[in-house]
Amino acid sequence: MQLITKQLTAIIEREGSGYVSLCPELDIASQGDTVEEAKSNLKEALELFFETASSEEIARRSHEEIYITRVEIAVG
C-alpha cells in the first residue's frame, strides 16, 4: 500500500494547565501538557483514525471546506 500525505488543520488552545488540540476537518481532538505534545497527540489520533475507520466513516466525518479567520465586533 502506498502512503499518501494529507494536510489537515490543527487548532491548539490553552485549557487550564495544558493544551487541547482539534482537527476541525474530522472533529477529532486530543490534548497535551505543551503545544508540541498536544500537536503530536493529535497527529497520533488522526493516524489511528485513518488506520481503523471505514471509508464510509471517513467520508461522513470529513469536512472539506474549513475556514479559519478572525472577525471584529463592537462590544460594550
Residue pLDDT, tens place only, 24-55: 999 999 999 999 999 999 999 999 999 999 99
**CB within 8 A of 9, min separation 6: which ones?**
23, 24, 25, 66, 68
pLDDT of residue 38: 98
In terms of Cβ atoms closer than 10 Å to its own Cβ (0-12, 13-18, 19+), residue 63 is: exposed
| 2 — pLDDT class (breaks 50, 70, 90) | confident
Give the three-class secondary structure for 12. strand
pLDDT of residue 44: 98
